Amino acid sequence: MGAESFHVDVEALKNAGLGAAELMALLESHRVEDIDCDADAVGHEGLGAALASFCERWQVGVKNLTKDGRVLSRNLIDTAGAYLEVDHKVAASLERIVPHTRGGAHG
The mean predicted confidence, pLDDT, of the chain is: 88
Burial 69-93 (b: 16+ CB within 10 A, else e): beeebeebbebbeeeeeeeeeeeee
User: With 60 as the cut, is the pLDDT of residue 25 above it?
Assistant: yes
User: With 90 as the cut, is the pLDDT of residue 66 above it?
Assistant: yes
Question: What are the boundaries of each domain within the chain?
Answer: 10-96
pTM here is: 0.72
Mean of pLDDT values over 14-34: 92
User: With 80 as the cut, is the pLDDT of residue 105 above it?
Assistant: no
pLDDT at 106: 52
